[in-house]
Structure 1
């Protein structure tokens, strides 16, 4: 797929964070203490309501689906379920913009975020037909991309493990913690001959939102 223009990705990032802020105010306890599935279900519902309420969002987003079944790049895995599939109005529904969410707290940190989140975009489980995807962190312990993700991906072993081509670069959004990283992908398409079988790299937009109880007060 052709890359999504950064202008549109910024609008989507803003919309996701706006929706999260609203559910944090309306469902403080769930956001601060619930599991990842509960928080993401609230986020999905709010993002879909925005289609009815926000004209700009409606022009860009057709629907948002949580846990939608999808195929891996080679069809070997039939029931991959990314956390959110954001179907865009100008893009085929076969290839939505994928968002994977993880909780960051005292027990769950950047290792899990990368191993069970980021990695899925590199091995062809998720977003194998696209050039970009979102990683969302529900942060409950004050962590930031600068203090946790950036130094972790700078470690030589992790830079290799996660095929880092570009380190976290601030998106300059100002109102929330957001960065972009670039990664090589470790698979080749099986349905097309070389050189078209190389998916190229992927840009991951990292949105780290404050899910602590204190943030809603």
Structure 2
């Protein structure tokens, strides 16, 4: 008698990147969920002073509704599991086991199955005393130093931008990084200029960052591409 043990896992990390189609489906769902939230004047008033955590709770709940309705093409419960908020994962070394990315999206067909084979987002308020420097130091650096998304070639940053809004994401980030280079604060800075995804449904700035650590299997993680999605807190 023989037993079929199934297919072996499809390779250790770093994992195969998602297609641009899957990334854009998630981004489109985030934008639609946000637009629906902004349609409520009560939400707009509340979001103007709410903390990042509570805004993300509302966004997660609306994304789960979209999974159920299927109104965003491709963003369905047949393709994605419900987005997870603040799930505890380990860092690249496996020593720190309480890292909490703000939002995690898992594709049901992604192989190998792993809670690290996902699209991770870190969410930050910009405005109300929080700056683009904070966005870099407390957000982007979590992907660069291997706290989050160490097994992936891509991840995302979401900004809840309070009025008065800064410049567009690409301009604001380039300005921040130019000043950092002038002051020789080089940690986590991209080696090449930002790009814009002209095919996305919402402005997406794209930056590529090198990572200097090694995975537990001694493989280098490679660069990480961050997709920056900035959402206004006013319609």
TM-score, length of structure 1 as denominator length: 0.89
The equivalent of 1:51 in structure 2 is 67
Q: Is the 8 A contact 1:24 1:31 kept in 2?
A: no
Which of 131, 137, 152 is equivalent to 1:115? 137
CA distance 1:125–1:32, shift in 2 (3 Å): same
The equivalent of 1:88 in structure 2 is 107
Distance 2:185 2:38 in 1: 33
Distance 1:90 1:207 in 2: 25
How far the C-alpha of 1:82 sits from its partner, in A, is: 0.8
Distance 1:11 1:163 in 2: 27
Q: Is the 8 A contact 1:152 1:158 kept in 2?
A: no
How far the C-alpha of 1:51 sits from its partner, in A, is: 1.0
Which of 63, 66, 90 is equivalent to 1:71? 90
Alpha-carbon RMSD across the aligned residues, in angstroms, is: 1.8
What SS does the aligned partner of 1:208 have?
strand
Which of 208, 217, 220 is equivalent to 1:192? 217
1:151-210 residue CA offsets vs partner (Å, 9 max, x unmatched): 112342577311413322111147533211000012111x224xxx10000000000111
CA distance 1:89–1:152, shift in 2 (3 Å): same
The equivalent of 1:10 in structure 2 is 24
How far the C-alpha of 1:149 sits from its partner, in A, is: 1.0
Distance 2:130 2:24 in 1: 27
How far the C-alpha of 1:70 sits from its partner, in A, is: 0.6
Report the structure, 1 or 2, having the larger strand content.
1
1:40 aligns with 2:56: yes
CA distance 1:7–1:174, shift in 2 (3 Å): closer
Which of 174, 193, 201 is equivalent to 1:150? 174
Distance 2:24 2:184 in 1: 27
Paired positions, count: 209
Distance 1:184 1:127 in 2: 13
How far the C-alpha of 1:111 sits from its partner, in A, is: 0.4
CA distance 1:63–1:2, shift in 2 (3 Å): same
CA distance 1:93–1:198, shift in 2 (3 Å): closer
Report the structure, 1 or 2, having the larger helix content.
1
Distance 1:25 1:66 in 2: 23
Distance 2:21 2:200 in 1: 16
The equivalent of 2:39 in structure 1 is 25
* Segment drifting more, 158-167 vs 78-87: 158-167
